[in-house]
Chain A
Amino acid sequence: METLHSILPELIRIVICAIGGAVIVFGNALVMGYAERKLAGHIMLRPGPMEVGWHGILQLVVDGIKLMGKQLVVPKQADKPLYMLAPILAFAPVFAPLLLIPFSDKLQGFDIDVGMLVILAFASINVLAILIGGWSSNNKYSLFGAFRSVAQNVAYEIPMLISLLAVVFMTNTFSLREIAAAQSPVWFVLLQPLAFLIYIVAMVAETNRAPFDLPEAESELTAGFHTEYSGMSFSLFVLGEYANMFIVCSVATVFFLGGSSGIPLPYFEYTGALWFLLKVYALMFFLVWIRWTYPRTRFDQLMNFCWKYLIPFSLVNLLITVVVVKLI
């Protein structure tokens, strides 16, 4: 009886966290899928989805049902086990980082002292999933898409890590909650503007979104690494992409935009979470905005920008941060 007593709260916590994670992943995909299409429409002077529900608000629900009902096609020459594994590998790892994001002071799944590393480690598995999917499809476009994704993600992981490291040096911890708490008077975006800019650029590249969407450049590669995927296996890739967007924006919020800090509303205990989500979705809006503004970069431009601009600047920024932290 006593063992049950000690396990039960922990078990309930795990179940609630899992459900919360699933709600965030699917809810975020619904909201962002709709918002993305709507904003894309308005930027092009057209209304976007209008037919299903009021102003097309149920469009994504209907799309989801359609995708679930579709046949899973496996190409004849594909490597079947790997082909089926890739979408799962792209989707499953997004749950671990979601448990560590501090939505407010009280609202957090788990807090472990290497939180930042856990998020980055699980986010990097996405590249492997894309590579496996692209290779096992046995299609030249898929393979090219996967190769580009690897080159791009491995290159942009470096400035991303270094820019985050500058913040870690200032707070002296890897724990996300403590980093968010460390910026109660001044947000780090004001102290580390260069790191923030570098992180934003690297973030766009890491999530494979326009203008860095070379892995799925439809004008050259049909649909890149997910050319052969259909139905639910395709939608797992899309869900993974939107969840990854949410995660990188949350990390930006925690590291640079003060986490859940904001003006507290009266009569509401969880204002922190509201502020947090507001900041995250503001960043997501920015992602959508630049997606529909900039044309796709060429591959050499992409690599040049990373190796000639982002990495040197982030290193210089890190160096200055270290010197300043040491002197103060």
Chain B
Amino acid sequence: MIVFEYIAEILFYGFMILTFMGGFMAVRSKLLMHAVLGLAVSLFGVAGLYFFLGSPFLAMMQVLIYVGAVCIMIVMGVMLGSTPDQLATKNFSGQNLLLAILACSTGFIALFVAIGQTKFAPAAQRVGDMSIRFVGENLLFKYCLAFELISVVLLTAIIGAIILARGGREEKAS
């Protein structure tokens, strides 16, 4: 049985590396397409981690939803953003750099404190029988807050899309 544990361990670190590499690629790529694909890789890594933690349902939902989301993001990026052969200019300087560091460190510290204070139940337990009743009850009672917070993310995405689209249109008009 010890071999299986090694394999699981390797998979865990593999998925972690995948997540970080994808995230790095998403931030540092010069082409929009590469950045969005980095995001896809990162999200796939997160799906792998969910699988590792014993929740295949969440892992598959992650793949199912985010593949479509990434595709649409690429389409939007190609339509609204710069042309594919135009490389992104470096804008990590001055005020931008300061704001970026501030936002990132705030997020990091908030998460770090939150994670440090939580007592986690041991993972890899069998969570349930995955019947419709089980999934529905968990989503709408036990994890109701998380479920609702996801819709906030969607709202942010919609607002961001509107701002991007309007910005592009006004520039053209002037």
Residues of chain A touching chain B, judged by Cβ–Cβ distance below 8 Å, are 3, 6-7, 79, 82, 112-114, 117-118, 120-122, 124-125, 127-128, 131-132, 135-136, 138, 143, 147, 150-151, 153-154, 157, 168-169, 172-175
The answer to whether A157 and B68 have CB atoms under 8 Å apart is yes
Please name all residues of chain A whose beta carbon is closer than 8 Å to the beta carbon of B14 when the two chains form the complex. none
Report the number of A-B residue pairs with Cβ-Cβ less than 8 Å: 82
Asked if B71 and A127 sit within 8 Å, CB to CB, the answer is: yes
Residue in A82, A124, A147, A174 whose beta carbon sits within 8 Å of that of B68 in the complex? A124
Please give, as numbers and ranges, the residues of chain A lying within 8 Å of B57 by CB-CB distance: 114, 117, 174
B139 at the interface (CB under 8 A from A): no
Q: Which residues of B contact A (CB under 8 A)?
A: 1-4, 31, 33-34, 37, 40, 56-57, 60-61, 63-64, 67-68, 70-72, 74-75, 78, 84, 129-133
CB distance from A277 to the nearest CB of B (A): 26
Chain B nearest CB, measured from A163 CB (Å) = 16
Would you call B67 and A124 a contact (CB within 8 A)?
Answer: yes
Q: Contacts A172-B133, A173-B131 given: A3-B1 contact, CB under 8 Å? A: yes
Contacts of B34 in A (CB 8 A): 82
Across the interface, name the chain A residue whose C-beta is closest to B56. Answer: A114
Partner of A124, one of B1, B64, B133: B64
Given A3-B3, A114-B60, A118-B60, 6 other A-B contacts at CB below 8 A? Answer: A117-B61, A125-B67, A128-B70, A135-B74, A150-B74, A154-B71
- Interface of chain A: mostly helix, strand, loop or mixed: helix
- Chain B residues with CB under 8 Å of A112's CB are 56
Residue among B34, B64, B72 with the highest chain A CB neighbour number at 10 A: B64
**Contact at B68–A154, with CB atoms within 8 Å?**
yes
A173 touches B130 (CB 8 A): yes
Report the minimum CB–CB distance from A310 to chain B (whole Å): 17
Question: Do B132 and A3 touch across chains, with their CB atoms under 8 A apart?
Answer: no
Residue of A nearest to B68 (CB): A154
